[in-house]
Structure 1
Amino acid sequence: MGRVQGKVALVTGAASGIGLSTAHLLAKEGAKVVLADFNVEGANEAAQQIRDAGGDAVGMFLDASVESSIKEAVDFTVKQYGTITVLFNNVGLTNLKKDLDVVNMDLEEWDKLMNVNVKSVLLGSRFAIPHMIEAGGGSIINTASMAGFEADAVRSAYGASKAAVVNLTRYIATQYGKDNIRCNGVAPGLILTPAAKNNLPPAILDIFSKYNALPYHGEADDIGYTVLFLASDESKFITGQTIQVEGGHYIANPTVPDFRALQAQANKA
């Protein structure tokens, strides 16, 4: 208990999945938390759950595609709790029906994803940093993705936007480190959020299982605990980094599962 005692955190995209897990963990460890989400009912319900468990939290509406809404979230946090020392830029969009390969993707979808996935990170940081400087420092954590490091057959805009988040994280860390502001990212692989569990068929999960180094899939708390660490003073000498939380899915030579299968066949012969 108390790993982020006395800190004030704004968590965007906090009504479900990774954001919800992170908000609960931050509050459990002593932070005062503002949960901001387009689903304001979900954010308010989650905040009530935190209060019922003895934490300090409030929910609010956020449209991460609108600059004024992002500023309002930061201003509300400062008005509610007097400061902001942790910002978790977690909102992100993806659309498998429109975000295709470079030739066939919907260009309006490209603009939409760049606006929400990248610009919201820029704006959240832009509005929070002056308050963090006044408070003597802070920690900004951005949700990137393994799609920002590895290419895929589709989701061109999503991957490019998350690569931008990875490098923007470095820029913020470089520009404001002397103000005692750290900025880091977390890059999830496949995480079994409720949305993933409801939408991914078993065949897709089996493919990920084949290539994961670990014998299980990630859960929202796996990202939440990483964010908690980056928000805490335990990570006070870490900045500009994006931690890959992906179960070892991308670390091995991609032929390893196939060679294992061949070896298994040879052993049976």
Structure 2
Amino acid sequence: MGRVQDKVALITGAASGIGLATAKLMAKEGAKVVIADFNIEGAKEVAAEIKAEGGEATAVFLDAGQEDSIKEAVEFTVNTYGTITVLYNNVGLTNLKKDLDVVNMDLDEWDRLMNINLKSVLLGSRFAIPHMIKAGGGSIINTASMAGFASDSIRSAYGASKAGVAHLTKYIATQYGKDNIRCNAVAPGLILTPAAENSLPPAMLEIFKKYNALPYNGEPNDIGYTVLFLASDEAKYITGQTIKVEGGHYIANPTIADVNELMKNAQDNQ
């Protein structure tokens, strides 16, 4: 208990999935948490749940595609709790129907994803950093993605935007480190959020698990605990890094799972 005691954390996209899990963990460990989400009713429910469990939280509406809304969420945090010492830029969107290969993708969707996935990270940091400097420092954590490190047959804009998040993280860390502001990112692999489980068939989830080094897929708390660590003083000498939380899905020769299965079948048939 108390790993982030009395820190003030603004968490975007916190009404569900990874953001929700992180908000609950942060509050359990002593942070005052602002739940920022487009789904304001869902954000209010999460804040109420945290308070019912003895934590401190409040909710604010956030449209991550609008500069004024991001600024207002930061100002709301400071006005409510006096400062902001942790910012978790977690909002991100993907679109499997419009974000296709580079020849066939919807160019308006490219612009939309760059705005929400990448520019919102820039703006959240831009508005929070002056307050963190006044507070004597802080920690910014950004949600990148393994799509920013490994390519795919579709989701070109999503992958490019998340690669941008990972690199922007380094720039923020470099530019504001002397102000005692750390900036790191987390790159999730497949995480079993409600959205993922509702949109991906069980067979697809099994494919991901097959190619993991570990025998299971990730859960929201796996990201939440990583963010909690980066927000805490335990990570005071870590900055400019992107931590890949992906179950070892990307560490091996991509043929290894199929080769192992082939060899096992050969042994079984001897």
The bucket for the TM-score relative to the shorter chain is over 0.9
Q: Which residue of 2 aligns with 1:31?
A: 31
The amino acid across from 1:226 in the alignment is T
Q: Does 1:192 align with 2:185?
A: no
Instruction: Give the alignment's TM-score, normalised by structure 1.
Output: 0.99
Structure 1 Cα separation of the partners of residues 65 and 201 of structure 2? 30
Q: What's the C-alpha RMSD, in Å, of the aligned pairs?
A: 0.5
Q: Which residue of 1 aligns with 2:77?
A: 77
C-alpha displacement of 1:265:
2.1
Q: What does 1:187-266 align with in structure 2 at a 5 Å threshold?
A: 187-266=187-266
Structure 2 Cα separation of the partners of residues 38 and 261 of structure 1? 45
Aligned length: 269
Structure 2 Cα separation of the partners of residues 223 and 210 of structure 1? 20
Structure 2 Cα separation of the partners of residues 254 and 168 of structure 1? 29
Structure 1 Cα separation of the partners of residues 141 and 182 of structure 2? 8
Structure 2 Cα separation of the partners of residues 218 and 182 of structure 1? 26
Structure 1 Cα separation of the partners of residues 258 and 95 of structure 2? 31
Any idea what the Cα deviations from partners look like across 1:58-84, whole Å, max 9, x if unmatched? 011000000000000000000000000
Any idea what the Cα deviations from partners look like across 1:40-98, whole Å, max 9, x if unmatched? 00000100010111111001100000000000000000000000000000000100000
Q: Which residue of 1 aligns with 2:172?
A: 172
Q: Does 1:42 align with 2:42?
A: yes
> Unpaired runs of 5+ in structure 1?
none
Structure 1 Cα separation of the partners of residues 259 and 201 of structure 2? 26
The amino acid across from 1:191 in the alignment is I
Structure 2 Cα separation of the partners of residues 202 and 42 of structure 1? 27
**What secondary structure is seen at the aligned counterpart in 1 of 2:195?**
helix
**What secondary structure is seen at the aligned counterpart in 2 of 1:88?**
strand
Structure 1 Cα separation of the partners of residues 193 and 24 of structure 2? 15
**What secondary structure is seen at the aligned counterpart in 2 of 1:139?**
strand
Percentage identity across paired residues of the two chains: 77
C-alpha displacement of 1:266:
2.0
The amino acid across from 2:176 in the alignment is Y
Instruction: Give the alignment's TM-score, normalised by structure 2.
Output: 0.99
